[in-house]
Amino acid sequence: MAIDYDLVLEELKKEAGPLAKIFLDKAMDALEIKDLNDSNYKDVLDVLKMNPTLKKYVEAVEKRLNGI
């Protein structure tokens, strides 16, 4: 299964709720990433993990996505 925006968003929402979309979009915007894929999603998760509020949620998502 390939990683895309919808999948990452769905996994983030499971952990952190609907507001996750705002932070996902901000992180992508900061990196000038228009769409998520296997090669760039880790950078976006790294940015999200630098937000102390989100760190633990993102780590849980990361573990699941790394197993895909």
Toward its own copies, which CB reaches closer, 31 or 68?
A: 31
For the bound state, the minimum distance from the C-beta of residue 57 to its own copies, rounded and expressed in Å, comes to 14
Toward its own copies, which CB reaches closer, 42 or 64?
A: 42
User: What region does 43 belong to: left with phi over 0, alpha with psi -120 to 50, or beta?
Assistant: alpha
Within 33-52, which residues bind its own copies (CB under 8 A)? 43, 46-48, 50-51
Within 17-36, which residues bind its own copies (CB under 8 A)? 23, 26-27, 29-32
Of 40, 45, 67, the C-alpha closest to 57 is 45
Q: What is the largest CA-CA distance in the chain?
A: 29
